[in-house]
Amino acid sequence: MGSSSLTAMAPTPALITRPRIGIVGAGNIASLNVAGYLEDPRCDVVAVCDPKEGRAAEAARAWGVDRSYTDLADLLADPEVDAVEILTPTFLHHDHVLAAVEAGKHVSCQKPLANTVTEARAMAAAADEAGVVLRVSECFRHYPPLELAKQLLAEGAIGRPTQIRLRTVVGQTDSEFQNGLEIDGYLWRMTETSPGGHLFDDMIHKYAVALWMFDQDIVSVQAAVRRRDHYFEPCAAIFAYEDPSILGTMDVSYAPAMWLRSDYYGADEFFEIQGDEGFLWVTRCTGQMLDLPAVVLYEGRQGKQTTTSFPHIDADWGAGFRRASSNFIDTLVDGVPPEMSATEAIKALQLCFAVYEAGNTRQAIDPRQITHSVVPDGWPQ
């Protein structure tokens, strides 16, 4: 069964006329996630919670919010909070989501959904039983160039798809955003509180795209995984989809001495989709590494070959965050299925662990068979 049909099975909650949002976690990534709620006229951000002394109050002032808390229980007891955006470290997601669900709050959770498939399934079951929404805020699925690529694919612009390549390069940048990040937002990612490094924490975005672009499960993974500078994990992987005519490749490279342009992190991504009649290329995402239009379409039908560029589409990586927030409001106000349900988030988590398992064993791994978690060999050092 493909991802699209699973999305349709997500529970439909009672609609909320004007959702009141509480933000749980005001660390490094919070400003990107909250911007969409602050801009959306259909909702209000009413409360902020963070255990670090002064951080919630500072964020509340910056966002024009009246209430700040240092204890999650206090925010969840606030009757004026309808839904929460959970932006805490991944190893806390399980407990924080279960507490929010028990309090009757709808939940949007930062990626990855949990540290294990077991925890993620327990979270999804609890939300279903409580009749509340649980979705993952996946900015890459709302990034306008990738949305356009998926639309062109659905319209048959390149014919029948045959292959996708997901390329990530990590280097250096000197952006104001990256220079302003707090170190405590990274330390937990490099210890046993995380089941892996970069392939778990960041590549979960790309796993989500690999599943979403074709609305199909991946049934087999092969991979070689390495480690550099402890956290970064250069990787080459092969994905086989339900449709045996479609293959995927994912490669991740780390270039610590290479600088690239970016308003955010020192990284960039490229997505290439081959069809039997053409080719789609998304030339940027997190960074601005190449001087190219954000989306390029080549149509190569017999007797007519054309190249179409889309230079004016909003290619700001932050737009994906803003649109992801608006999608949560769409769900609460209009009953629109969330773009990434808990079920789909679990599939992305299984794919992540399948890459680790394939790297550990040098064997082909079926992600659907992973029920808990997989830690890469030697993690953490």
In the chain, % of residues over pLDDT 90: 95
| Whether pLDDT at 13 is above 80 | no
pTM for this prediction: 0.95
Q: What is the pLDDT of residue 9?
A: 46
Please indicate, yes or no, whether residues 160 and 309 belong to a single structural domain of this protein.
Answer: yes
CA–CA distance, 33 with 81 (Å, rounded to integer): 17
Please indicate, yes or no, whether residues 266 and 329 belong to a single structural domain of this protein.
Answer: no
pLDDT tier for residue 381 given thresholds of 50, 70 and 90? confident
> Which DSSP string do the residues of 205-249 spell out, in sequence order?
HHHHHHHHHHT--EEEEEEEE--BTTTB--EEEEEEESSTT-EEE
Please indicate, yes or no, whether residues 287 and 215 belong to a single structural domain of this protein.
Answer: yes
Across the chain, mean pLDDT equals 95
| Domains of the chain: total | 2
Amino acid at 116: T
Q: What is the pLDDT of residue 12?
A: 58
Please indicate, yes or no, whether residues 14 and 118 belong to a single structural domain of this protein.
Answer: yes
Q: pLDDT digits over 282-323, tens only?
A: 999 999 999 999 999 999 999 999 999 999 999 999 999 999
pLDDT tier for residue 5 given thresholds of 50, 70 and 90? very low
Residue 133 lies in a domain: yes
Residue 344 lies in a domain: no
| Whether pLDDT at 7 is above 60 | no
Please indicate, yes or no, whether residues 263 and 284 belong to a single structural domain of this protein.
Answer: yes
DSSP-derived letter for residue 125 is: H
pLDDT tier for residue 3 given thresholds of 50, 70 and 90? very low
Of the CA atoms within 13 Å of residue 326, those in its CB half-sphere come to 14
List the structure tokens of 373. 């978690």
Residue 191 lies in a domain: yes
Please indicate, yes or no, whether residues 134 and 179 belong to a single structural domain of this protein.
Answer: no
Please indicate, yes or no, whether residues 217 and 262 belong to a single structural domain of this protein.
Answer: yes
Please indicate, yes or no, whether residues 165 and 290 belong to a single structural domain of this protein.
Answer: yes
Q: pLDDT digits over 252-288, tens only?
A: 999 999 999 999 999 999 999 999 999 999 999 999 9
Q: What is the pLDDT of residue 178?
A: 95
Residue 381 lies in a domain: no
Please indicate, yes or no, whether residues 215 and 283 belong to a single structural domain of this protein.
Answer: yes
CA–CA distance, 87 with 136 (Å, rounded to integer): 11
What is the mean pLDDT of the segment spanning 68-85? 98
How many residues belong to the chain? 381
Query: CB within 8 A of 191, min separation 6: which ones?
Result: 380
pLDDT tier for residue 14 given thresholds of 50, 70 and 90? confident
CB of 179 closer than 8 Å to CB of 247: no
Residue with tokens 């394939």: 358
Residue 367 lies in a domain: no
Q: What is the pLDDT of residue 191?
A: 95
Please indicate, yes or no, whether residues 305 and 194 belong to a single structural domain of this protein.
Answer: yes
Q: pLDDT digits over 86-115, tens only?
A: 999 999 999 999 999 999 999 999 999 999
CATH number of the domain where residue 310 is located:
3.30.360.10
Residue 49 lies in a domain: yes
CA–CA distance, 250 with 252 (Å, rounded to integer): 7
CA–CA distance, 175 with 123 (Å, rounded to integer): 36
CATH number of the domain where residue 30 is located:
3.40.50.720
Please indicate, yes or no, whether residues 67 and 86 belong to a single structural domain of this protein.
Answer: yes
Please indicate, yes or no, whether residues 56 and 112 belong to a single structural domain of this protein.
Answer: yes
Q: What is the pLDDT of residue 10?
A: 47
What is the mean pLDDT of the segment spanning 26-34? 96
CA–CA distance, 211 with 288 (Å, rounded to integer): 25
What is the mean pLDDT of the segment spanning 154-182? 97
Amino acid at 134: L
Residue 25 lies in a domain: yes
- What domain range includes position 85? 3-138+320-337
Residue 172 lies in a domain: yes
| Whether pLDDT at 134 is above 70 | yes
Could you give phi then psi for residue 87, rounded to 5 degrees? -120, 30
